[in-house]
Amino acid sequence: MNHDFSRPVTGHVPVLRLGDVLLVTLQGDLHDSTAQQLQQDIGETIVGTGVTGVVIDISGIEIVDSFLGRVLAEIAAQASLLAARTVVAGMRPAVAITLVELGLTLPGLRTALTTEAALDLLAGLDPATRSGGPRQESR
């Protein structure tokens, strides 16, 4: 089956389980009904499986508006109430700038540069030490 990821997300966003973590990958725009369904799916999956973490990969998102920022914050708040931590992975610099400009602090959300680093963060590992030691700053 071919997928066109350049289209806006209008249907169902898959929620994948990786051990004790749910992985959600957002691609394109998230519409009201899709966001509401995603929140419901994440909540039901946390309750049904007892996972302790949620990783939301937004590397496929070009622009974040106040709606998407609110949805991310609501997912994190809901997950926290259900005893799961949320990490947003793959945020682009332009997205971070937009969130700051909109005044969105996203309480309850931790961030990581990559999905792998987000999984490490939820596992209690320091992503900076993954490659055999702390990262060295180049001079």
What is the per-residue DSSP string for 4-39? -TTS-B-SPPPEEEETTEEEEEEES-B-HHHHHHHH
* Residue 86 contacts residue 76 (beta carbons within 8 Å): yes
Tokens 């249907």 locate to 11
Q: Is the pLDDT of residue 126 over 70?
A: no
Q: Per-residue pLDDT averaged across 2-28, rounded?
A: 73
The pTM is what? 0.81
If 0-12 CB within 10 Å is exposed, 13-18 middle and 19+ buried, where does residue 88 land?
buried
Tokens 């709606």 locate to 67
Q: Which two tokens stand for residue 125?
A: 């590992």
Confidence of residue 134 (pLDDT cuts 50, 70, 90): very low
